[in-house]
Amino acid sequence: MMRTTRHDPSVLAPRRPAAALVAVLATAVLVAGCTGADPEPESTASELPLPASVTASPSATVSPEPSPEPSDEVAAAGPERPAVMDKKDAEGAAAAAKYILSLEQPMMVTGDTAEWEARSHRSCEYCESRLDQAKTIAKRGDVFTGGDVEVVVDKVYQRDVVTGIWPMDITLTEAATTITGPDDEVIFEMATTSAERRAELGLRDGEWLLVELAPIPEG
């Protein structure tokens, strides 16, 4: 039977009832809001508590260049880490957002979650939901096709001096996706989708992490 709900964790993987999730991408179930611990400022190795909200002050507008569409072979192998991620500034944060989110599709295809886990902050509920989905697909022997991710960074805000977080607004587009079961039955199918989201990036031991991905706050 064809599913019409986007990667509903109740179908593909059990979820904890504490988080109220909403659809975010074509293949994502997104938690509402950004809570939890945050990554440390790059000057320390410890992590600071994340405040209830982070005020995003305009910092820089990054050129809205879409991520290139990878070939099937490149997608399966995973994206190449861009050298600009070595920068510990707005440009580096924007590059990190594109890179980390582009890890999702190959993770779903191959079941290799190592790099996704390495780039996910422990408090990132969105990251956890996608990780659970990838593990469920691999465990059941399902086949994930399509779902290439394109990220356009619309605006990067000033770094929060308390949390060390770089907030940014992005447009996230995911290509048409199909999940097929071991018996070749299509169990999920969805057309290309696009959504505007607030991404939060931080540094831990000099490496960029995705702290959260959520709807852009109103106002």
In a domain, 1, yes or no: no
Count the domains in the chain: 1
Q: What is the pLDDT of residue 219?
A: 73
128 lies in a domain?
yes
| Residue 3 lies inside a defined structural domain of this protein | no
Distances in Å between the Cα of 145 and the Cα atoms of 22, 108, 212 are 22, 9, 25
Q: Is residue 4 part of a domain?
A: no
Residue length, the chain?
A: 219
Question: Residue 82 is part of which domain span?
Answer: 9-215
| CATH label of the domain that carries residue 28 | 3.10.450
- Gap between the Cα atoms of 93 and 12, Å rounded: 32
pLDDT tens-digit readout, 129-141? 999 999 999 999 9
> Is 192 among the domain residues?
yes
pLDDT along the chain (219 residues), means of 10: 38 35 35 40 38 44 47 64 97 98 98 98 97 98 97 98 97 98 96 98 97 93
Beta strands in the chain (DSSP E): 21-23, 29-31, 58-60, 143-146, 149-157, 166-174, 177-180, 186-190, 193-204, 207-215
> 199 lies in a domain?
yes
Q: Is residue 2 part of a domain?
A: no
Residue 188's Cβ-count burial label (10 Å; 0-12, 13-18, 19+) is buried
